[in-house]
Each structure stands twice: as C-alpha cells, then as structure tokens.
Amino acid sequence: MTITPITLADRISAGHAAESPLSTEEYFVNMGPQHPSTHGVLRLVVRLDGETVREVIPVCGYVHRGIEKMGEYLTYRQFGHLTDRMDYLSAITNNWVVAMAVEKAAGIETNDRIQTIRTICAELQRIQSHQLWWGVFGMDLGAFTAFLYGFRDREMVTDIFEETTGARLTMNYIQPGGLMYDIHPDFVKGVKKFLAYFKPKLVEYDTLFSGNVIVQARLRGIGCLSPEAAVSLGATGPVLRGSGLACDLRKNQPYGAYGKVQFDVPVGITGDCWDRYWVRMEEMRQSIRIIEQLIDGIPEGKHMTIKPTSKIKVPEGIYYEQAETARGILGVLIASDGGEKPYRIHMRSPNFNNLWCVTKAAPGHRIADLVAILSSVDIVVPDIDR
Amino acid sequence: MTNLVQAEALWQVKTLSDRTVEAIPDSPWLATGFFLLGIISVGALVAGLGLVLIYLERKIAAHFQCRLGPMRVGWHGLLQTVADTIKLLLKEDIIPERADKLMHLMAPFLSLLATVLVLVVIPYSPILQIADVNIGVLYVSAVGGFGILGILVAGWSSNNKWSLLGAMRAGAQIMSYEISATLALLTVVLFAGTLKLSGVVQSQADGWWIWRAHGIGLVAFMIFLIASVAEINRTPFDIAEGESELTGGFHTEYSGMRFAFFFLSEFVNMFVAAAITATLFLGGWMPFHIGGLHGFNAIMDIIPPVIWFLGKTGFLIFLIMWFRWTFPRLRVDQLMKLEWKILLPIGFVNLVVAAVAVLFDVYFFPRN
C-alpha cells in the first residue's frame, strides 16, 4: 500500500466547491502568526466559504525553543526552571510535575507543609490563570472592559506570589525535595485578603459578562465537542470537563493535599463554548473552596527536605508523572540512565491536544465563532511548541 | 393655533446660508464672509469634535474599567489627543504594494466627506445652523449612507482578505440598518409634518416626540438609536472592524494620517448620530416644554438652546460610549437577524400605528 502524503499546500489549493447555488469559491486565510486572537504566535490556516469556516489547520512551531532537548543537558533541579517557560500561566504546576516525578523516582521524601503549600500555590495559580483567561475571552468577544477587570484582580494574586517567590510570572518555586523558599510571613494574611476580595468580584464577572444576552447568544450551541471527540483528541482539563466527562486528576488520582480537601468537579452538558466557560467560572469557586480549607492549617515543618546543593540522581528507568494544570493534564516522562541528568525528557502538554479540538469544533461556524472557540479552549502557545 | 404661532415667532430660525443670501444684494463681501465662516466653522467643528470626543472616549472608557486613562500630557491628559494626532501625522503612510493606489488614497476622505456633509444641516440652535435644507431628513439619511462607500472602497482597495471581509460586513450591515433608521425617521416626519430639520425641532415646542407621541415615539427612538449605533460601526455592532476577529477590518492596511482620518470620521459620525437622534426625538435645541404650561416653559427657556442641544447630544454620546465599554460584539448573522427579523417588523408596525395616530390626531397635547 502506498501512502500519498497530503501537504498543507495541497489542502489549501484543493478549492472545494461550496454548497451554494451561486457560483462561489472557497478561499483560505492565514490567521496568525500575528493575530490578536491567536494569543501568541500560532498560525491557523482557515479555509473559508464567505464567512463560514470549512476547515481549520493549526500550524505550530513558531516559539519552539527545544525545551525538551535542553533538558537533556541540565540536571533535574535546573530543568524545573525551564518548565516555567512552557505554560507560563501554570508555572508552579509545571514545576510541581517535574518535582513530583523526580521525587518519586529518586525516593525523596517530602513533608505535609511542603505538600500543603504546593497545593495552595497551585490553586492560586489556577485562579489567576482563569482570571486572565476570562479577561482575554471577553476581549475576544469584543468586550474590552472584561479584559481589564480580569487583569485588575489577577494583580492581587501575582502580588502574593511576588512576595513569596520574588517573581510574578515565571516563579521557579517548587523544586524536587521541597520549595525554593519558605512562604513569606504575610502569605496567609495576603491569601485571605485576596479571597475576601475576590469572592464578590466573581459575582461582578457574572453581572458584567456571563448574564449578557449577547454573550449567551455568542456562546450557546457554538463549537460543540462531543465527549467521544474530546477523548479521541486527547483533550483534558476544562475542555474535556466541558464536554461532560468528570475527569480531574485532583479528584481521580489525588496528589499533594488534594486528598484531604472537599471540592466538586464541575462538568458541562453539551460541550459548547458556554459549557467550557461555565466550567472555568465554577472552577474558580472550587479553587477558592480548596484554599479556604487549607490556608488555616498549614502544618509546621521544613520547606526543603534535602540540601539545596545535594546531587539528585534518578535510578535507571522510565518514569511518568502527571498533574492537573489550569488547562488540563500535564505529564512528564523521564528516561533516566541513572545519572544526574535525564537521558531523555518529554512533556505531555495539555494545550497541544486541546488546540486540535478547534479543528473538530470550528468547521461550519463563522469566523467570529472560531475566535470564540479558540478562546474557550484557552491555549497557551509556548506550551504547544515548547 | 395661537400656541404654534407664538412658538414659531419665539424660535425664528436664521441659518448662515440665509444670511449669505440676504447679504448678496447689499454687500457681496459680507456674503463671502458668511460663506467662508460656514466652511471654516465646519472644519473647526470636525477638528474640535475629534479632539474632544477622543479624549472623552478614553476618559470614559478608563473610568468604566477602573483606571485613570491619559494623565501625563497636559492637565489630566487633556493634550493627549493633540500629541497622538501629531504622532499619526508624522508616521509613515504605508500603501501596500499591490493595493489599488488611487482608491486606497481616496477612501478615508470619502469616509470623512459623508460625515462633514451631514454636519452642515444639523440645527445646533435657532441661529446656529449652516444650511436648512427643505428636505433635511431625506438629505441626512441619503448623505449618511454615503459613508459606506469609504469603507467599501478601503476594504476593496487594500488587497487584503481581512479588509475585504470587514468591508463586506460593513456593506451588509449599514445597508440593512439604514432601512430601520429610515422607518424610524419617517415616524417623526409623519408627526412633524415636515422634512426640514429646523421644522422638526420647532414642531416639538409642545413636547419632544419621544414622549409626546405616546409609545410610538419611544419605540421609534429605540429603533433609531440601535440602527444609528449599527450604522456608525460601534460596539456591539463593530463587526466591520472586529479587531479580535479581523485584525482591524477595513482599516487593517491603513497607517499614519489615513488611519487618523478613519478614526476621526468614526468619532464625528458618533456625534452626528447622537445629534440627529437628539434633533428628531429629544427636541434638538428645543427646551423641555410641556404644551400649555406657559410658566414652566418660560422657566425652561432661560437655558439657551445651544446648551439644550449639547446636553442632549452629550447624553446620547455617553450612552453610545457606555454601550461600547459594556457589551461584547454580535456575530454577523445575529446582527442581520436582529435587523431583518426584529427591528424591521417592529419599525413597520410602528410606522403604521404612527400614521393612524396622526390621521386621527390622537397624540399627547394635540396641536390646538
């Protein structure tokens, strides 16, 4: 059997006839790499019939930095810092996955304090990620005010992080064996202040945006992704949950302090943009719930169980560990030859799989819907390209 | 009848073009002076409106979004627009290599021309109007629709698919909403019994049409406001620009001064839409009057007509800005649905009801 490869150029120049009695012609448009709605340097080749999207072909690789290859020349502790630059809105969770994998493989013990702080930070991170997404989502639908509201509230979370870790975006906080620094003395106070501030703001989000009749008209029934399609494309996180599957690693395979806390996993019904939107809004409330349960009882203990200068050696073998970031399941696969550096390291990023959901969900809708769908999937491009 | 005669005597309209015509037999120089004054004042108005409205928009947007807006250039950023204008004028004017050059150069001016032509007939006050065309309402809707030409030409000549998409969207949108706007205009024409804009204002001496014509005026006002916002391409109807979808739509390929012209015409358009709405439904420069209550009306007359006009127009401009900074954008098919399935039928029914009301003379405070 011979396989004829179909290149991008072939698909673009195919020139399918449109389903219209008028003599019309399909055409293609490059959405990106510089486009306000692709959130970074992603390129979507869109085959259009007038305003209607017929096919979406994502083209990635514009911010490929070879993070996985670089990892082969770095120690495990050093590699953690690179992961911040993948999904920069989940920097702490990215660190955590690597730390978790290395700890499990090298048999490093951690204590309750470390796990509780990691969990709180990861949930704070999830909230700020969703805040940013909410703002950008509003902007993509044309509501610019939402963008600034989202950023205004995100500022408080980044301030808390800045106080403890010294950085606002790429925090390098979680390391194999513990945390880079202990929490700032004002951390607990700051988090409580933020929660008290943010709870009423979530209601404000709803009054400004969720309840708007235009938002409802723009989101309901748009970009439906069936559970089967979502699973077959490997979608995870809010995209999968929006399609109605309650798959959340925090619940299914609890890690950190998630086993000790009560929270719900919100799921959608139809898998349209509105469901994905609502799942994320609800996740912010659940994250607040998780933090509230943990923040008062951070156990005493050391913030680092191993010496920061000690060498971490992972025994020979292949190890896989995963965690739930704000966008879905982030996995890390380490192939070790027993040395200080991994022989091969691979990250399974949620954004790559989620992006491909657009190709399934967008055809048949309008260009404006494509923007809404892309935004409801919430991709971070540097995580796709790595 | 006495009431109306009184009102007309009180609000004697004298436009700049009337003065020019009057002056021609006596002194041609004075006539030329008036003529030049008309031209210069329109030019000054366009420039002034650009400066004021852009500053206002930025400040209002900022306060809606919990921020300060321009604060650095001048007191509270008052000179920010001037600085931006200078920047835009000095910037390189890029014409895409494969664009239709002549069309590309022409489009911004076509766009601005339509708005300037409407500015000429707006009655700012009894003595402040440049020309009072006897078919004013028709003129406004005809010339106002001319603005679409600039957008279409811009989108077509740019040789960019995003621009073309934006232009086509704008074409469909403006054409459709023109119908609803015209239907709402006709309602007022029926009530006022004249097409002359100053006549429409004078007919509201006993009360503005928005409340004097029972519910009909209110419905027509709503339709006209929605249609006007759609015609001037502002959120929630800014699909022609749609910066998150079409990267700027029809003006994607414009830079420097030509972009500034589109920008300027957008803002002047907003003023025109607000001014026309105020003139037709909120009495234009006519103070708040209630037919028959002479004492009350006399108190209202203390405030000069220009202030009334600016107040009403300013309120409507604020309303339009409020829309923009609160609502998301509609989708193109939803926009068409809103027009053809909702606004148009309501507009038609409203027009028929208005005709019946006028025929049987059943409005509030009927003309005595």
Q: Which H, E and C letters describe chain B, residue by residue?
A: CHHHHHHHHHCCCCCHHHHHHHHHHHCHHHHHHHHHHHHHHHHHHHHHHHHHHHHHHHHHHHHHCCCCCCCCCCHHHCCHHHHHHHHHHHCCCCCCCCCCHHHHHHHHHHHHHHHHHHHCCCCCECCECCCCCCCHHHHHHHHHCCHHHHHHHHHHHCCCHHHHHHHHHHHHHHHHHHHHHHHHHHHHHHHHCCCCHHHHHHCCCCCCHHHHCHHHHHHHHHHHHHHHHHHCCCCCCHHHCCHHHHCCHHHCCCCHHHHHHHHHHHHHHHHHHHHHHHHHHCCCCCCCCCCCCHHHHHHHCCCCHHHHHHHHHHHHHHHHHHHHCCCCCCCHHHHHHHHHHHHHHHHHHHHHHHHHHHHCCCCCCCCC
pLDDT at A20: 53
- Interface check B87 vs A, CB under 8 A: no
Count of CB atoms situated within 10 Å of the CB of A21: 6
pLDDT at A63: 86
Please tell me the least confidently modeled range out of B120-129, B170-179, B227-236.
Answer: B120-129
Please give the share of chain B, as a percent, with pLDDT higher than 90: 4
Count of CB atoms situated within 10 Å of the CB of B215: 11
> Cβ–Cβ of A218/B334 closer than 8 Å?
yes
Please name the residue of chain A whose CA is at the shortest distance from the CA of residue B235. A142
- Interface check A143 vs B, CB under 8 A: yes
Which of B243, B245, B327, B336 to probe by mutation at the A interface, max A CB count within 10 Å?
Answer: B245
pLDDT at B315: 92
pLDDT at B364: 58
- Interface check A27 vs B, CB under 8 A: yes
Give the integer Cα–Cα distance in Å for B181 and B175.
10
CA distance A274 to chain B (A): 15
> Cβ–Cβ of B247/A36 closer than 8 Å?
yes
**B337 or A5, which is more confident?**
B337
**B348 or B241, which is more confident?**
B348
Please name the residue of chain A whose CA is at the shortest distance from the CA of residue B161. A29
Which parts of chain A register pLDDT below 70?
Answer: 1-24
Please tell me the least confidently modeled range out of A87-91, A222-226, B284-288, B317-321.
Answer: B284-288
pLDDT at B72: 87
CA distance B339 to chain A (A): 15
B67 chain-A contacts, CB cut-off 8 A? 148
- pTM for the complete prediction? 0.84
For residues B51-78, average pLDDT? 87
Whether residue B2 is predicted with pLDDT greater than 50 in this model: the reply is no
pLDDT at A6: 64
> Cβ–Cβ of B65/A149 closer than 8 Å?
yes
> Cβ–Cβ of A138/B61 closer than 8 Å?
no
Give the integer Cα–Cα distance in Å for B202 and B198.
6
Whether residue B106 is predicted with pLDDT greater than 60 in this model: the reply is yes
Of B65, B327, B332, the CB nearest to A366: B332
Please name the residue of chain B whose CA is at the shortest distance from the CA of residue A208. B326
A152 chain-B contacts, CB cut-off 8 A? 66
Whether residue B366 is predicted with pLDDT greater than 60 in this model: the reply is no
For residues B332-347, average pLDDT? 89
Which of B331, B335, B336 to probe by mutation at the A interface, max A CB count within 10 Å?
Answer: B331
CA distance B233 to chain A (A): 13
Local confidence band at B345 (pLDDT 50, 70, 90 cut-offs): very high
For residue B157, which of B144, B146, B167, B147 has the smallest C-alpha distance?
B167
Whether residue B125 is predicted with pLDDT greater than 80 in this model: the reply is no
Bond prior to A33 in cis (omega within 30° of 0): yes
Beta strand A317-324 with A329-336 is antiparallel
pLDDT at B11: 64
